[in-house]
Amino acid sequence: MRRVIFILLLATTLFGCGGAGQEGDSEELNVDIQDNSLNQSTKTIATLIPPGSNGCENGGVRIDSGFDVNENRVLDESEVSGSSIICHGLDGVVGLNGSDGEDGSNGEDGEDGEDGEDGEDGEDGEDGDDGDDGEDGEDGLTSLIRIYDEPEGDNCEYGGKKIVSGLDLNSSGILGSSEIQDTQYLCNVVQIVSSNMGCSVNDNFDGTATISCEDGTSVVIHDGVDGVDGLDGTNGLDGADGAGSAVVGLLYCSDLLSSDSNNSFYGITWNYELSVMENGVYHVKAHINTGWVQIGNSAIYSPSSSGHSTAPIDIVFDTYVGSLNRYPGSWMLSLSNFSAVEVTYTDTDFKYNSNYNLTGHSGVVTWAPSQSDCTYFDYSN
């Protein structure tokens, strides 16, 4: 059986802040990831790692690769065959120290006490003026990561991915050969058979057939023994006349999600498309788009199915990356009164984000349906 594993990571841009400097510093560290692979045999997924973990002082990126064994277009944990850690670049140079503030004036002397007893303490002197702020430190350099197909050879016996990284020293946005600081490989663990290979089947007219392929391999298969004839079944009742299956209407909805104070959903858009068939069947498809990758799903609902009225679409796609990211996130897009779509994101990691006051938080965020997001096209006439 041929297996085709789709690479969902097309182009990834990740941002990470450097370590804290002196007061007044302003540092920003960028990560730019592009997947230039043409080979669709493996799936590659990039995940941010927090500062101080996996040997990365300023955080970085973990890149996992493997085969979609169960062909669900998601790289499950059990399917990961290789991982690579890419650390963010170093912090910029620390700014100069500010000048010292002026000394405060001396306090007044205390009165002399009686013989044998200690005198009273003098009053505290006034605080000195604050020193000037130090100069801003220099901006850190951008880390560039590029991914390419690696052919079969010394680096990877069965081929795989080549990952090169380095600092953009000339700020050109291009990782030149002189800027490459690290090269790593994510190799296929088994040989991938090209899906373009042609094979033919020839009947030998003796109960066998020969399968011959373009690579020169062949195999002979034998017919199985005929099974015993089963008993004749009773005739079924005549079915009702079926309705036509032409498209009579299309509901299309899309919107840019509103974010929260922590920008957890900044730049994320969604779309939902429902085709209404003449026989009442709904063909539905939906997508979540972060700007660097789009994940979707589709479904069909007959008039007698339990989900026909809401036609929900479930998309397993973790778009939230917090200080802890231990649980997968998922999206649900469902129809509301056939005129709007309700969008829901569920992620248990919200309960562990220190930026939120999440006492009793359910881990579910919902965007209310709005008819302004949707347009209906009537094809019945």
Global model pTM greater than 0.85: no
Amino acid sitting at position 158:
Y
Tokens representing residue 278 in the block: 């003449």
Q: How far is it, in rounded angstroms, from Cα 12 to Cα 166?
A: 16
DSSP one-letter string for 2-16: --------SEEEEEE
Residue recorded with tokens 């199985």 = 224
The mean-pLDDT minimum among 82-86, 144-148, 221-225, 336-340 falls in: 221-225
The tens digit of pLDDT for each residue in 45-61 reads 888 889 888 888 888 88
Among 92-96, 107-111, 252-256, which stretch is predicted with the lowest mean pLDDT?
92-96
Contacts of 379 (CB under 8 A, 6+ apart): 247, 248, 249, 250
**211 SS3 class:** strand
Q: What is the DSSP letter of 353?
A: -
How far is Cα 238 from Cα 6, in angstroms, rounded to an integer?
44
Considering Cα of 53, then 55, then 59, then 61, what sign does the dihedral take? negative
Nearest to 71 by CA among 39, 47, 40: 40
**Tokens standing for residue 357:** 């006051």
Give the pLDDT confidence score for residue 315 in this predicted structure.
92
Would you give the DSSP letter of residue 323? S
215: pLDDT strictly greater than 70: yes
Exposure string of 198-214, with b = 16+ CB inside 10 Å and e = fewer, is eeeeeeeeeeeeeeeee
Nearest to 336 by CA among 318, 311, 365, 317: 311
Amino acid at 295: I
CA-CA distance, 251 to 338, in Å (whole number)?
A: 8
- Picking from 139, 141, 145, the residue whose alpha carbon sits closest to that of residue 168 is 141
User: Please, how many CA atoms are within 13 Å of residue 151, restricted to the half-sphere of its CB?
Assistant: 1
The whole-number pLDDT of residue 170 equals 86
Contact at 8 Å (CB) between 120 and 110? yes
Are 18 and 140 spatial neighbours (Cβ–Cβ below 8 Å)? yes
pLDDT at 256: 92
Say if residues 253 and 341 touch (Cβ distance below 8 Å).
Answer: yes
* pLDDT per residue as tens digits for the range 226-273: 667 767 767 766 655 554 568 899 999 999 988 665 566 778 899 999
d(CA 57, CA 49): 10
* Res 19: pLDDT: 41
Q: How far is CA 295 from CA 273, 288, 331, in A?
A: 14, 5, 10
Task: Look at residue 182 in the predicted model and tell me its pLDDT.
Answer: 92
Domain boundaries of the chain, sorted by first residue = 11-91+141-187, 194-221, 247-378
Contact criterion met (CB below 8 Å) for 64 and 75: yes
Instruction: For residue 77, give both structure tokens.
Output: 């944990």
Over the chain, what is the mean pLDDT?
Answer: 77
List CB contacts of 206: < 8 A, sequence separation 6 or more. none
Q: What is the arithmetic mean of pLDDT over 331-337? A: 93
Q: What are phi and psi of 195, to 5 degrees?
A: -75, -5
More confident residue, 326 or 367: 367
CA 183 → CA 30, 147, 164, 189, distances in Å?
Answer: 19, 10, 4, 19
Burial string for 113-150 (b: 16+ CB within 10 Å, else e) reads eeeeeeeeeeeeeeeeeeeeebeebeebbbbbbbbebb
Strand partners, 56: 53
78 phi/psi in degrees, rounded to 5: -70, -15
